[in-house]
């Protein structure tokens, strides 16, 4: 041992350093070289990620056969009634509520409720014209009138459609996912309000990776609405994939949702007029008609409910939350799947058998329409036994010829008898227990469009008068009202 100590203590010819000192220096140099090489490798990997060099297996599959659906944007209207004791200034205050997902079981009620987020802010977000992701070029008129949310963002992050955001982009937008930026949360994850580097306000849905659920919901939403563009669909601007992180970036719609306007916080700022309610519902009907009939494969939303209907400052309805959506090929009449949705809105045949197609969405829309007409929840256990279920109660009221008593009592200006009967007729057809008798959503759009029957009647009468004599033509000047079921 003493000889080893003596050997290590001997001075060497290198600057007179002892042997043990020289050995230590060599070890330190080797460690430093290893750390430098490791640092360079990590840096190269990060740069590679930022250039979006991901494996093709990570890129979501998106339907490509999607057609353009142009929708004109209506002008702004006075669509709400202020309460006598409320000032208009209240409407600018930001509000947010959220609901966690719950489940109910037992027979036909075996329905898992999906979570949803409700958001309300301060700024107005204009509607997008209908188009598809396969056609990014827009007409010169619409292009000049509508700023792209991608202006000012790095072009290297674009991939096929929308924008491929980095984790750093979204951390900066949401102030590192600050709790102050949370606008909603539930079983799927957390939604943050964010501001991109170009000033565009967005809603960032950060999905929780519970047993791969984040990956599943991420792919569902991207494949369902990644390429589609419609004025009445909340626009998916892009997404983020880094490691296990899965995030979706949407346009920010900041005037609450239909549930809030009918039952929740925004009621203190005013009550939606009948015209505003019908405008919102007509927009959602157009969005569903587009998803069901204008694109391939068709998209079944599977969770139509008032909290998923966002409203902009022009009172246009925007359908959101495609986490439960299913794609249905043209050759498929239905698919068998686990029953999901929200209790009270789910079609009975789907709840009983698990057989899903677009008719399930149509039933849910009918319930939504009844909710807007009456101001009642689809299921309310605080009411007397025969009024708990909205659909059954309304059928009873119509059968007893008491249809005018079902109108939301909070409406100061009641709808005309004709307008009420039209809405109830459409809703009752949509909630027909026989799914085969329910109308298509394109037919619902025509029935809800108040001008449609009159335009058709004028067109038909004009064609008939060309072959009539003058007496017959003079007798046909009165336009008949569209026929409405005598039971209403």
Catalytic residues: 303
Q: Which residues pair with 242 in a beta bridge?
A: 245
Pairing mode of beta strands 228-229, 271-272: unpaired
Closest CA to 305 of 341, 267, 264, 356: 341
Angle between helices 417-430 and 358-374 (to 10 degrees): 150
- The residue ranges of DSSP E strands in 400-460, in sequence order, are none
Report residue 480 CA to chain centroid gap: 39
- 3-state DSSP call for residue 44? helix
206 annotated to bind ligand:
yes
DSSP codes joined into one string, 252-299: ---B-BHHHHHHSGGGGG-EE-HHHHHHHHHHHHHHHHIIIIIBSSEE
- 3-state DSSP call for residue 169? helix
- Those residues whose C-beta lies under 8 Å from the C-beta of residue 80, and which sit 6 or more positions away, are 261, 269, 270, 271, 272, 273, 276, 315
CA distance linking residue 256 with residue 259, whole number of Å: 8
Q: What is the maximal distance between C-alpha atoms in the chain?
A: 134
CB atoms within 10 A of CB 384: 8
> Cβ-count burial of 229 within 10 angstroms (0-12 exposed, 13-18 middle, 19+ buried)?
buried
- Buried-state track 447-462, b at ≥16 Cβ within 10 A, e below 16: bbbeeebeeeeeeebe
Closest CA to 189 of 218, 220, 219: 218
First to last CA, the chain: 108
Q: Under a CB-based contact definition with an 8 Å cutoff, are residues 68 and 131 in contact?
A: yes
Binding residue ranges: 206
Binding residue ranges for ATP: 206
């Amino acid at each position: 041992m003493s000889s080893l100590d003596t050997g290590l203590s001997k001075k060497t010819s290198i600057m007179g350093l002892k042997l043990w000192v020289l050995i230590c220096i060599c070890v330190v140099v080797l460690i430093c070289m290893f750390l430098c090489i490791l640092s360079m490798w990590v840096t190269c990997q990060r740069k590679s990620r930022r250039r979006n060099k991901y494996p093709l297996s990570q890129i979501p599959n998106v339907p490509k056969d999607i057609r353009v659906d142009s929708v004109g944007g209506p002008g702004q209207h006075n669509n709400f009634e202020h309460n006598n004791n409320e000032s208009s200034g209240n409407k600018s205050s930001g509000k947010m509520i959220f609901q966690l997902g719950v489940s109910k079981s037992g027979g036909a009620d075996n329905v898992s409720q999906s979570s949803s987020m409700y958001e309300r802010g301060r700024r107005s977000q204009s509607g997008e014209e209908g188009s598809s992701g396969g056609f990014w070029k827009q007409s010169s008129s619409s292009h000049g009138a509508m700023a792209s949310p991608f202006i000012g963002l790095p072009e290297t992050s674009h991939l096929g459609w929308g924008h491929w955001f980095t984790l750093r982009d979204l951390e900066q937008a949401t102030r590192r996912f600050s709790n102050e930026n949370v606008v909603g949360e539930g079983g799927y994850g957390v939604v943050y309000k964010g501001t991109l580097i170009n000033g565009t306000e967005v809603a960032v849905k950060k999905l929780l990776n519970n047993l791969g659920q984040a990956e599943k919901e991420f792919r569902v939403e991207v494949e369902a609405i990644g390429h589609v563009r419609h004025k009445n669909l909340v626009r998916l601007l892009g997404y983020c994939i880094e490691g296990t992180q899965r995030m979706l970036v949407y346009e920010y719609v900041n005037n609450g949702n239909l549930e809030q306007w009918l039952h929740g916080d925004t009621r203190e700022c005013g009550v939606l007029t009948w015209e505003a309610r019908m405008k919102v519902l007509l927009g959602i009907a157009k969005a569903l008609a587009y998803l069901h009939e204008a694109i391939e494969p068709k998209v079944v939303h599977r969770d139509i409910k008032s909290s998923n209907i966002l409203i902009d400052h022009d009172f246009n309805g925007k359908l959101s939350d495609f986490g439960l959506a299913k794609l249905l090929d043209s050759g498929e009449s239905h698919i068998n799947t686990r029953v999901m949705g929200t209790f009270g809105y789910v079609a009975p045949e789907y709840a009983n058998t698990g057989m899903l197609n677009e008719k399930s969405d149509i039933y849910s829309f009918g319930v939504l329409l009844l909710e807007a007409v009456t101001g009642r929840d689809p299921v309310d256990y605080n009411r007397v036994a025969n009024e708990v279920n909205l659909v059954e109660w309304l059928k009873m009221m119509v059968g007893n010829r008491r249809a005018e008593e079902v109108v939301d009592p909070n409406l100061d200006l009641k709808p005309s008898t004709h307008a009420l009967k039209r809405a109830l007729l459409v809703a009752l057809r949509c909630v027909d227990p026989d799914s085969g008798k329910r109308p298509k959503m394109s037919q619902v759009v025509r029935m809800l469009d108040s001008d449609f029957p009159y335009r058709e009647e004028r067109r038909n009468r004009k064609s008939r008068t060309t072959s009539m004599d003058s007496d017959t033509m003079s007798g046909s000047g009165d336009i008949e009202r569209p026929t409405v079921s005598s039971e209403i």
